[in-house]
A and B are shown apart, each in its own frame.
Chain A
Amino acid sequence: GEDVEQSLFLSVREGDSSVINCTYTDSSSTYLYWYKQEPGAGLQLLTYIFSNMDMKQDQRLTVLLNKKDKHLSLRIADTQTGDSAIYFCAEILPGRSSARQLTFGSGTQLTVLP
């Protein structure tokens, strides 16, 4: 089946910027999401972007959307040790948009080194 794809691991130095990339499946997706999962916890919605936007900024977070390439990225500025977590990209399940259910990538484990 079709998959939302993410790289599995990313390591950055504290204070640097992190960029987490995602390729999604459905060019008609209207909403795309980034979730954060800390160890032993559930998923926390970080931000989402509407498909009619190219960019959304929220404090240290910047989301970029390239609809032509079905590419979504999350940039975290001034990355801190507390940002170490798994980050999931998600879209509304292709083909079943009326159900408004999410399909997730495999997650990117971000490790912030001191």
Chain B
Amino acid sequence: NAGVTQTPKFQVLKTGQSMTLQCAQDMNHEYMSWYRQDPGMGLRLIHYSVGAGITDQGEVPNGYNVSRSTTEDFPLRLLSAAPSQTSVYFCASSKQGNGGYTFGSGTRLTVV
């Protein structure tokens, strides 16, 4: 099993550009989440999904959109990139949530 796969691993964007961070899991997990990691701040929840067709906002949703059309995929869209969105982004999935999450290896995004 591949687990949780994130692409790309690195990305540089110019301010105002849009892009989609991809996340796919092959474990048939219902729960999927997007986090951003900034130095000294731990991980903060951006958006999450508890099943196909169901999404909700986390702690820091502004500037990001998500959709969940299939169980496997949970893409994160940056609508108009800003330097404040420079961060490392992690996708995670879980069968039921309570047993812990499996994380992808992350996407390092720089907005200039």
Contacts and interface: CB of A to CB of B under 8 A. Distances in A.
A100 B102 CA distance: 14
B83 interface: no
Given A88-B43, A105-B42, A42 B101 contact: no
A45 B40 contact: no
Contacts of A88: 42-43
Contacts of B106: 41-42
A41 B58 CA distance: 23
Interface in B60-107: 90, 92, 94, 96-106
Interface residues of B, number: 29
Contacts of B41: 106
Given A88-B43, A92-B98, A100 B31 contact: yes
A42 B58 contact: no
B25 interface: no
Nearest to B56: A99
16 contacts: A8-B40, A31-B99, A33-B100, A42-B103, A43-B92, A44-B103, A99-B50, A100-B31, A100-B98, A101-B31, A101-B33, A101-B45, A101-B97, A103-B59, A104-B43, A106-B40
Interface of A: 4, 8, 30-31, 33, 35, 41-45, 48, 88, 92-93, 99-107
